[in-house]
Structure 1
Amino acid sequence: MRAVAGAIACVTLVACSTSAGPDNGDRVLPTYGTYDIDAQPVDALRPGGTLTLSMAQMVTQLNFNHVDGAVDDVLTIDTMTEPRLFTRDARGVPHRVPEYLVSASVTGTSPQVVTYRLNPKARWSDGTVIGWRDFAAQWRALGRGDARYPVADPSGYDRIGDVRRGAGPDEVRVTFRKQFADWRKLFTPLFPAADYSTPGRFTGDWQSRLPVTAGPFKLGSIDRTAQTLTLVPDAKWWGRRPVLDRIVFRALDPEAALQAYLNGEIDVVNAATSEAYEQLAKASDSTVRIGSAWDEVHITLNGAAGPLADRAVRNALQQAVDRKALARVAAEGLPVRVPLLGNHFFMTNQPGYADNSGRYGTYDAQAAARALDRAGWKRPAAGRTREKNGRTLTLRFVLSQGTNRLGEDLAQLVQQMFGDIGVRVEIQSVPAVDYGPKYLDKGNFDLAIFRFTGLTYPSSAYAVYRRPVGTQVYENYGRVSDAEVDRLLGEAAASLSPKQSQALYNRADAEIWRLGHDIELYQRPQILAVRKGLANYGVPGLGDVDFTRVGWQK
């Protein structure tokens, strides 16, 4: 999974951490990669049935590679309906999917060449054979820097120099201009050439529809009135038929989702907040599943304009936030610890993790106040807002209306912390459907709290920290980066040595902290309430859910 931005709608939104964390007694976060899905053989499940899940908002752009479609719910839908060449196990190790790939390997190193041999049974729903042209169209749309394609993340694709047919019709040869260690993350999902061939199709063909599919499921219906999207098994699928008859996604805000679950209307709900866990731990016909995943919560700082364009101000705000206090609030009432994060690329108990936060992650309100004084933002009197050149130091904290109570509490605590050093924060709540396209994408905020999830391939984070090009900001919504970050991330992505790659990512991470890109907070625990009898679904660790195996026990 690539970096996915989402409002803290589910928090919000592995062993013990080596970084400082909240005091939660004997509670510990499950070992990194731990999963809890109630794994069962398919023959232990009853055929058919419906699984009803919630989603944060009604999705409209169903192209995950589009900047407006780069959210977790769209990725889930696309990986069920479009080719997923590799799937990851609970420890994040990728494995080829035989329904699409006979083989895939590096067949050259100077330059790097990856050769894919496709399953000849693999076809799009319109009958077209899946082939090299689909790979080529996706590369051209995502990796060639054409600003007419509003791409969420070109990383990896922008290192490809050529895509062409191999020795036969089922073979694809991808040649890289620059080495790319995480090549297995590319072309997953794979999209059809016909609907990626022009900028208009890249956007328009996926607006509230899936024009062509090639997965075990297809789009059954979209009901805007009921705010639901339904997937059903595709009779044209050449692999194992899914157990379920349908999967329904309902757009629900966190509180509505909690009540819907308690009322028996949906089958899974987030339980990673104290108020939710208190109710769900004792709910009838329900069980709680706990695990760990790549899931972080942070506050983005918009450095494009206004007071936060000054790095000294951003650094001061980093020191003004008591991260331990926020993590304690997030952990209250939960059965696991919520560790602070000192790294933007690795979770606290992931190989490669190092706490690079230094003074930028250490709470020191007095140092923050002195830094603002040096930056020219003076406090006219105690309890007053700082001023400079006739302007007050006022920041707009934009929250999605899909944010739950915890996210609101965290924003209010930050508001108080900044107020203590003379920074005024105005909290603005905006419609969930507008939060991404009208606020994050356009830089229409000073502060924003949300999550990135699923970055088990560290190169996936490049889009979050790379320098914007013109109007293309990728996923760097705060527009904060520099040439050194780009250089280090480029070298890290090219290194085939895990040790060297981890060292480079950590050097880049230290620079990201120094730049004041954001205020990294904590690693979010995975706690789900699941309807009893639901098998092969829950917390998949660092892996992917195989929805063909999800079903209800006999």
Structure 2
Amino acid sequence: MRPSRRGAGLLALAATAALVLSACGGGGGGSGSVGDVAGGAPPQAGNDINPVAYDQVRDGGDFLWPINSLPPQYNRNQLDGTEADTADVMSSMVPLIMKGDPQSVYQPDPNYLESAELTSTDPQVVTYKLNPNAKWNSGRPIDWTDFEAQWKALNGSNPAFLVAGTTGYDVISSVTQGATPQEVVVTYSSKFADWKGNFLPLYPRETNSDPKVFNEGWINQPINDQTAGPFKFESVDATAKRLTVVRNEKWWGEPAKLDRIVYVALDQAAQADAYANGSLSFLEIGPSVATFQRAQQVPDTVIRTANGPNYRHITFNGAPGSILEDPKMRLAIMKGIDRNVLTQSQIGPIVPTAKPLGNHLYVEGQEGYEDHSGVVAYDPEKAKSELDALGWTLQGNVRAKGGKQLVIRDVIPTGTPVSEAESRIVQQQLAAIGVQVNIDAVPSDNFFEQFVNVGNFDITHFAWLGTPSPISSSSGIYRLVPDAVGQNYGRIGDQKINDLLVQANAELDPAKQRVIVNEIDQELWNIGHSLLTYQRPDAVALKPNVVNFGAKGFADYDYTKIGFAK
């Protein structure tokens, strides 16, 4: 249950393992072993997935994949479909025409694309040549009309489509057929640098032409005829909390090696024991020392690690009428939270060199990363004086103003130890400056839908999943649009940020774009948009015979190659 960045929007992670929060591997502990790292070593660059050639992967087998909860929405482009669990499930079944590589660069997937080229810069035109063998499970070829329908659904022109985001689609002026139905010509009304992140994932025109299908057709389960991947949907058991996909006989590429993938919905707190008893094929460790230590004790286990694009943060609710509406108050409160303590408490024993993240748009390992977090450097005395200046004075142990106490509600999902630990630390630290934090643990199954997405919180903790197109995929989080939330759940922003986002998305020169992006980040810190905590290196525990899977870092999985060594 974690939203993710992908094309129109980001995916967030509410818990840890299912959220993709991870830590580095370490040595020792029972019969387990740890990849190529020793305890406390930093994660490796690129990724660590035990790569094996396709012909060296055993044919067959079941792969038991843990998720936090069954997705509430299987259309990843719909507002409620941005959870990372949804991405894990649907990436086996729907076209990702571009896939991230270990260096955080998008590359065309030849199963779907023969080529994708910027064929003009004035106006900007992108020409896609589709693999002529690519077909939806209905038998209809994937063609230019699928691109056209997705553009029209996601460009914001029809409010009946409840979309996760419009970035990239709102600057397309036309989608037309080229020389054949499998040649797609996309013309932009203004320059859009992250064009490779558009149409990810691609859904068919049958979904994108009808708001009812778009919003409701994918709620209970995937629509098999409207998917096109190496796997297809077989069944979902809401009672057992399992969803099964099986090898797709209509797939035109190399057949998937696995017979099936079974997605098993479990609270993150229960996943370590489930992995230990063989009920799961792997365990995402997350920033949990206890999970890390538990994984080390499991016989015949390796822990694979890599730098990842994902990060934890605290979202603040600054919507009109909220107690944290004033940016000066948000900044004062942020100064009362020691991010170093949060970071070290969660991943320090695993990654001793870990430090807080300092950029909302780039993570360390991506070109352009600069730390601008000094504006909220931990300083409890300054926090106290700033709150005093705002009229929030101590009355007993809690500050008050105009008869109202400074009490903020920290909403977290149940069964997520990382969020629980973070909220307790924040509660203790803010009590020291006279701010009372009430922790409200809510059901994890509807954490996003009933709380985060609708602004039913004062502060909340989860993680964002990164992509190779961080500007366009993050825009929906930081753009403030009247009467629309999108993924800016705290309703915090200003026109300066909106204008800079437009500039950054339109700048085709990467070096110039990085300058603009860092200006955006400085402004986000200045207005107290959200408090970043730490970047999560990937850490995954699994058996040594699991191949082409593990700590994927910035890359996307090739679902056809996941499996077991011969």
TM-score range, shorter chain: over 0.9
State how far apart, in whole Å, the 2-side matches of 1:9 and 1:448 are.
Answer: 14
State how far apart, in whole Å, the 2-side matches of 1:152 and 1:310 are.
Answer: 27
State how far apart, in whole Å, the 1-side matches of 2:60 and 2:505 are.
Answer: 43
Find the counterpart in structure 2 of residue 385 from structure 1. Answer: 398
Find the counterpart in structure 1 of residue 548 from structure 2. Answer: 536
Find the counterpart in structure 2 of residue 401 from structure 1. Answer: 414
The DSSP-based 3-state class of the residue aligned with 2:447 is helix
Contact 1:66 1:151 in 2 (8 A): yes
Find the counterpart in structure 1 of residue 105 from structure 2. Answer: 93
Find the counterpart in structure 2 of residue 513 from structure 1. Answer: 525
Q: Does 1:10 align with 2:11?
A: no
Percentage identity across aligned positions? 37
Deviation at 1:335, TM superposition (A): 4.9
State how far apart, in whole Å, the 1-side matches of 2:423 and 2:256 are.
Answer: 42
The DSSP-based 3-state class of the residue aligned with 2:394 is coil
Contact 2:89 2:263 in 1 (8 A): no
Q: Does 1:461 align with 2:463?
A: no
**Structure 1 range deviating more: 365-374 or 337-346:** 337-346
The Cα offsets for residues 74-129 of structure 1, whole Å up to 9 and x where unpaired, read as 11222211111111211112211112112111111111011111111111111111
State how far apart, in whole Å, the 1-side matches of 2:190 and 2:414 are.
Answer: 42
Q: Does 1:326 align with 2:342?
A: yes
Contact 1:315 1:516 in 2 (8 A): yes
Q: Does 1:157 align with 2:165?
A: no
State how far apart, in whole Å, the 2-side matches of 1:252 and 1:48 are.
Answer: 25
- Select the residue among 333, 340, 357 that pairs with 1:341: 357
- Select the residue among 289, 294, 315 that pairs with 1:300: 315
The DSSP-based 3-state class of the residue aligned with 1:444 is coil
State how far apart, in whole Å, the 2-side matches of 1:501 and 1:491 are.
Answer: 8
Contact 1:216 1:548 in 2 (8 A): yes
The 5 A counterparts of 1:214-233 are: 214-233=228-247
Find the counterpart in structure 2 of residue 22 from structure 1. Answer: none
Deviation at 1:336, TM superposition (A): 5.4
The DSSP-based 3-state class of the residue aligned with 2:324 is helix
State how far apart, in whole Å, the 2-side matches of 1:6 and 1:493 are.
Answer: 25
Q: Does 1:287 align with 2:299?
A: no
Contact 2:154 2:170 in 1 (8 A): yes
State how far apart, in whole Å, the 2-side matches of 1:530 and 1:335 are.
Answer: 19
- Select the residue among 40, 43, 48 that pairs with 1:30: 43
Q: Which amino acid in the other structure matches residue 385 of structure 2?
A: R
Contact 1:302 1:480 in 2 (8 A): yes
Contact 2:92 2:559 in 1 (8 A): yes
Task: Give the count of matched residue pairs.
Answer: 538
- Select the residue among 261, 271, 283 that pairs with 1:247: 261
The DSSP-based 3-state class of the residue aligned with 1:338 is coil
State how far apart, in whole Å, the 1-side matches of 2:424 and 2:167 are.
Answer: 35
The Cα offsets for residues 17-45 of structure 1, whole Å up to 9 and x where unpaired, read as xxxxxxxx9945335x4211111112222
State how far apart, in whole Å, the 1-side matches of 2:431 and 2:87 are.
Answer: 39
Q: Which amino acid in the other structure matches residue 236 of structure 1?
A: K
The Cα offsets for residues 280-312 of structure 1, whole Å up to 9 and x where unpaired, read as 113112111011110111000000132200111
Q: Does 1:434 align with 2:434?
A: no
Q: Does 1:473 align with 2:480?
A: no
Find the counterpart in structure 2 of residue 195 from structure 1. Answer: 207
- Select the residue among 55, 59, 65 that pairs with 1:43: 55
State how far apart, in whole Å, the 1-side matches of 2:534 and 2:18 are.
Answer: 11
Find the counterpart in structure 1 of residue 289 from structure 2. Answer: 274
Q: Which amino acid in the other structure matches residue 299 of structure 2?
A: S
The DSSP-based 3-state class of the residue aligned with 1:153 is coil
Deviation at 1:454, TM superposition (A): 2.1
Find the counterpart in structure 2 of residue 132 from structure 1. Answer: 144
State how far apart, in whole Å, the 2-side matches of 1:292 and 1:54 are.
Answer: 21
Find the counterpart in structure 2 of residue 375 from structure 1. Answer: 390
State how far apart, in whole Å, the 1-side matches of 2:381 and 2:117 are.
Answer: 55
State how far apart, in whole Å, the 2-side matches of 1:444 and 1:102 are.
Answer: 45
- Select the residue among 425, 428, 446 that pairs with 1:413: 425
Contact 1:397 1:447 in 2 (8 A): yes
Q: Does 1:256 align with 2:256?
A: no
State how far apart, in whole Å, the 1-side matches of 2:212 and 2:415 are.
Answer: 30
Find the counterpart in structure 1 of residue 31 from structure 2. Answer: none
State how far apart, in whole Å, the 2-side matches of 1:11 and 1:251 are.
Answer: 9
The Cα offsets for residues 129-170 of structure 1, whole Å up to 9 and x where unpaired, read as 111111111111111343221111211111111111112221
The Cα offsets for residues 418-462 of structure 1, whole Å up to 9 and x where unpaired, read as 111111110001001111111011100001000001233122111
Contact 1:11 1:407 in 2 (8 A): no
State how far apart, in whole Å, the 2-side matches of 1:188 and 1:402 are.
Answer: 31
The DSSP-based 3-state class of the residue aligned with 1:379 is strand
Q: Which amino acid in the other structure matches residue 138 of structure 2?
A: D
Q: Does 1:237 align with 2:251?
A: yes
The 5 A counterparts of 1:494-505 are: 494-505=506-517
State how far apart, in whole Å, the 1-side matches of 2:506 and 2:131 are.
Answer: 29
Q: Which amino acid in the other structure matches residue 216 of structure 1?
A: P
Find the counterpart in structure 1 of residue 381 from structure 2. Answer: 366
Contact 1:302 1:477 in 2 (8 A): yes
Contact 1:49 1:244 in 2 (8 A): yes
Contact 1:52 1:266 in 2 (8 A): yes
Identify if the C-alpha distance between structure 1 residues 332 and 30 changes in structure 2 by more than 3 Å, giving closer, same or farther: closer
The DSSP-based 3-state class of the residue aligned with 1:426 is strand
- Select the residue among 130, 141, 146 that pairs with 2:158: 146
State how far apart, in whole Å, the 1-side matches of 2:41 and 2:298 are.
Answer: 23
State how far apart, in whole Å, the 1-side matches of 2:156 and 2:317 are.
Answer: 27
TM-score, normalising length from structure 2? 0.92
Deviation at 1:277, TM superposition (A): 1.1
State how far apart, in whole Å, the 1-side matches of 2:529 and 2:262 are.
Answer: 38
**Structure 1 range deviating more: 326-335 or 538-547:** 326-335
Find the counterpart in structure 2 of residue 351 from structure 1. Answer: 367
Q: Which amino acid in the other structure matches residue 266 of structure 1?
A: L
The DSSP-based 3-state class of the residue aligned with 1:115 is strand
Unaligned 5+ segments in structure 2 are 25-37
Unaligned 5+ segments in structure 1 are 17-24
Deviation at 1:217, TM superposition (A): 0.7
The DSSP-based 3-state class of the residue aligned with 2:393 is coil
Q: Output the aligned Cα RMSD.
A: 1.7
Contact 1:7 1:402 in 2 (8 A): no
Q: Which amino acid in the other structure matches residue 390 of structure 1?
A: G
State how far apart, in whole Å, the 2-side matches of 1:468 and 1:398 are.
Answer: 24
